[in-house]
Structure 1
Amino acid sequence: MPVNLDQPHRWKADVALSVDMYNDWFMRFAPQAFRTARIQTTKDVEAALQASGNLTQLGVALLGQHPGILPTLRMFTCPPLAVDRLIGLSGTVPNLVKCMEQEQKLPARMATADVERELGKIAAIIEKMADPDIFVWLGRSKAATPAEVTRAATIIADRLCGAVANPIIRNAQEKRQLAAIKSWLEIRGYRQLPEAGGTKFDAMPPGTFSFRMNVPVKLEGGVRTVNIPVDAVVMPQGARAGDLPLFFEAKSAGDFTNTNKRRKEEAVKMAQLRGTYGAAVRFNLFLCGYFDSGYLGYEAAEGIDWVWEHRMDDLALFGI
C-alpha cells in the first residue's frame, strides 16, 4: 500500500517541515562537520608538504611514489588548477592525470619512461605556478618556519574543503540519517547485521537490517551484472521465506535545484531493481531537506514511495 506517494494534498506542508528540519540541522551541525573535515585535510596537506620538502623537492620521484597527492598539489598554485586546466597547461596524457586523481595510482600499462616524462611535465607546472603568497619561503635562502608551514597548510585545506563543501555536508547528513534509521529500528527489536558478515540481501533473517549493502542487478539485457549500493536494507520481522527486503535510499538536499537535477538517479535504480527482481521490489526514499512537489511527483510517477525524516513513524506503514 502506498504511504506518501498518493497523498499530494500533504506534500506542500511536508516540504515546509522538511526544509525547516534540514535548516535547523545545518545551522547547528554543518559548521562542525566542515571544521572536522578541514582539520583532517590540514594534516593531509602538511604531510604533502613534508613529503615534498616544503615544495623544494617536488619532482618525478615524489609524484611516482605518491600519485594520490596530485589533487592537493593542484591547490598549491595561483590560481588553483582544475584537472582539465592542468592537463591543458602541462600537455600531459589525460589518462595519467585521471588515474592519479580518481584511483590514486599510475596507469598500469604505461611504459616507465613515458610515465616519468609526463610526471616531469606536471611537476614543472606545479613548481612554476606555486602560490608565492602562500608559500612565502619559496625563492629565499631561509627555510620555511613551522608557523609558515602550518599557515600554508590551513589555507590549502580551506581551498580543498571549499571545493568539496557540498559532499562534506552531504556525507555528514547521510551518517546522521542512517543513525536515525538505526535507532528507530533497534527500539523496535531489529538487529543490524555485521558489515563483514557476508549475508546477501535476499538471505537476510526477518527482523534484521544492513547499511550500504551491495545488490546485484542485470544490465544490457541481462548480459552483464553489476552491484549497486543501497543505503538501508530492512527485512521486516513478519517476512516469509522468499520475501524481498525493503530498500531505502537516504536523501538530503540543501536546495531545490540539485534535487531536480538528480531525481533521475532514483528512477534508474528502481528500474534496475525491478528489471532484475520483478514488480515486487519495494524501493523507497528517506527524505530530509529541499524536495519540492516537482521532485515528489516525478518519483511518485516512477512508483517510488518515501518517508519524511520529520515523520519517521511512517516507516511502520511499510510493514516494518
Structure 2
Amino acid sequence: MAVNLDKPQRWKEDVARSVDMYNQWFLNFAPGAFRATRISATVSVEASLLATSYLRDIRPETMKKNPSILSMLRMATCPPIAVDRLIGLAGVNSSLVKAMEKDNRLPVRVTGDLLDKELQKIGEIIERMADPDIFVWLARGDEPRQEEIHRAATIVADRLCGAQANPIIRNEQEKRQLAKIKTWLEARGYNEAETKARVDFQNMEPGTFSFRLNVKVRDNTVNIPVDAVIMPITANKGDLPVLIEAKSAGDFTNTNKRRKEEATKMAQLKQSYGDNVNFVLFLCGYFDSGYLGYEAAEGIDWIWEHRIDDMAELGL
C-alpha cells in the first residue's frame, strides 16, 4: 500500500511543512555543527603547519607520511588553489593529487624517485604561493609566535570548511535523521544490529535494523549503500526488509539534479530482487512537486520526517 506517492492532494502542504522544518533545524543547529568542525579543522591545520616547519619546508617525506595534508596546503595559498589548478601549475600526475585529496593516500603506480619528484614540485608551488598576509612570519624570516600560528590555522580552517560547507551540513543532517529513525524504531521494540556484525540484509532477524548497509546487486558484483535497513517485527522467512534512503536538501535546485540517483537504485534493486522490493525515501527539506512527481512515476514512495509516524504504514 502506498504511503504518499499516490496522494498528490497533500503534497503542497507537506512541502511547506518540510521546508519549515529544515529551515528551523538549519537556524538552530547548522552554525554549531559548522563551528565544531572548524574547531577540529583548526587543530589539524596547526599540526600540519608544525609538520611543514610552518610552510618553510614542505618536503616529500612529510606529504608521504600524511597525504591528507594536501587539502590544507591548497587553502594556504593566495589565492587558494583548486585541485585541477594545482595539477596544472605543478605539472604533476593527476592520479597523485586526486588520490591524496579524495582517499588520503598515495597512488599505487607512482612510487620511488618519481613520487619524490612529483611531491617536490607540489611543495615548491605551495611555498611560492603561500599567502603572506596569513603567514606573516615568512616575510620576516623568523619563528612564528603562537598567536600568529593559531590565527593562521583558524583562517585556513575556515577556508577548508567553507569549501566543504554543504557536505558538512548534509552529514550532520543525515546523522540527525538516522537518529530520529532509530528512536522511532526502538520505541516500538526494534533492536539495532551490532555495529561490527556482518549483516546480510536478506537474512536479518525480524525486529532488527541496521544503518549504512551495503546491498549487493547485479549478481553480487555491485554494492548499493542503503542508509537504513529494517526487518519488520511481523516478517516471515524469506521476506525482504524495508530499505530507507535518508534525504535532506537546503534548496530546490539540487534535489531536481539528484532525483535520478534514487530511480537508478530502485531499478537495480528490482532487477536483482524483484518487484517486491520496498525502497522508500525519508525526506526533510526542499523537495517540490516536480521532484515528488518524478519519484512517484518511478514507483518510489516516501516518508516525511515531519510525519514520521507514517512509517507504521510500511508495516513497521
TM value normalised by structure 2: 0.98
Match of 1:287 in 2: 283
Match of 1:296 in 2: 292
Moved over 2 A (4+): none
Match of 2:228 in 1: 232
Q: CA deviation at 1:141?
A: 3.1
Q: What fraction of aligned residue pairs are identical, expressed as a percent?
A: 64
Give 3-state SS (helix, strand or coil) of 1:149's partner.
Answer: helix
Match of 1:110 in 2: 110
1:160 aligns to 2:160 (yes or no)? yes
Please give the alpha-carbon distance, in whole angstroms, between the structure 2 residues aligned to 1:2 and 1:156: 49
User: What amino acid maps onto 1:151 in structure 2?
Assistant: R
Q: After the TM superposition, which residues 208-227 of structure 1 pair with which residues of structure 2 at under 5 Å, given as runs?
A: 208-218=208-218, 222=219, 225-227=221-223
1:123 aligns to 2:123 (yes or no)? yes
1:47 aligns to 2:43 (yes or no)? no
Match of 1:188 in 2: 188
Please give the alpha-carbon distance, in whole angstroms, between the structure 2 residues aligned to 1:185 and 1:111: 50
Deviations, residues 66-96 of structure 1 (Å, cap 9, x unaligned): 2221111000000000000001111111111
Q: After the TM superposition, which residues 70-85 of structure 1 pair with which residues of structure 2 at under 5 Å, given as runs?
A: 70-85=70-85
Give 3-state SS (helix, strand or coil) of 1:285's partner.
Answer: strand
Q: CA deviation at 1:199?
A: 2.3
Q: CA deviation at 1:109?
A: 2.2
Match of 1:311 in 2: 307
User: What amino acid maps onto 1:103 in structure 2?
Assistant: D
User: What amino acid maps onto 1:81 in structure 2?
Assistant: I
Please give the alpha-carbon distance, in whole angstroms, between the structure 2 residues aligned to 1:199 and 1:142: 57
Match of 1:246 in 2: 242
Match of 1:21 in 2: 21
User: What amino acid maps onto 2:237 in structure 1?
Assistant: A
Q: After the TM superposition, which residues 59-78 of structure 1 pair with which residues of structure 2 at under 5 Å, given as runs?
A: 59-78=59-78
Q: CA deviation at 1:106?
A: 1.7
Match of 2:32 in 1: 32
Give 3-state SS (helix, strand or coil) of 1:67's partner.
Answer: coil
TM value normalised by structure 1: 0.97
User: What amino acid maps onto 1:95 in structure 2?
Assistant: S
Give 3-state SS (helix, strand or coil) of 2:280's partner.
Answer: strand
CA RMSD across the alignment: 0.9
Q: CA deviation at 1:140?
A: 1.5
Deviations, residues 103-156 of structure 1 (Å, cap 9, x unaligned): 222222224111111111111100000000000000223210000000000000
Q: Structure 1 residues 197-206 or 5-14, which shifts more?
A: 197-206
Name structure 1 gaps, 5 residues minimum: none
Q: Structure 1 residues 113-122 or 253-262, which shifts more?
A: 113-122
Q: Structure 1 residues 101-110 or 299-308, which shifts more?
A: 101-110
Please give the alpha-carbon distance, in whole angstroms, between the structure 1 residues aligned to 2:268 and 2:187: 32
Name the CA shift for 1:123/1:280 in 2 (closer, same or farther; >3 Å): same
Please give the alpha-carbon distance, in whole angstroms, between the structure 1 residues aligned to 2:51 and 2:91: 25
Please give the alpha-carbon distance, in whole angstroms, between the structure 2 residues aligned to 1:141 and 1:172: 42
Q: Structure 1 residues 38-47 or 64-73, which shifts more?
A: 64-73
Deviations, residues 23-75 of structure 1 (Å, cap 9, x unaligned): 01000000000001001111110110011111122122212222221111000
Please give the alpha-carbon distance, in whole angstroms, between the structure 2 residues aligned to 1:66 and 1:2: 50
Match of 2:263 in 1: 267
Please give the alpha-carbon distance, in whole angstroms, between the structure 1 residues aligned to 2:297 and 2:237: 30
Q: CA deviation at 1:6?
A: 0.2
Give 3-state SS (helix, strand or coil) of 1:139's partner.
Answer: helix
Name structure 2 gaps, 5 residues minimum: none
Give 3-state SS (helix, strand or coil) of 1:138's partner.
Answer: helix
Please give the alpha-carbon distance, in whole angstroms, between the structure 1 residues aligned to 2:141 and 2:233: 71
Give 3-state SS (helix, strand or coil) of 1:206's partner.
Answer: coil
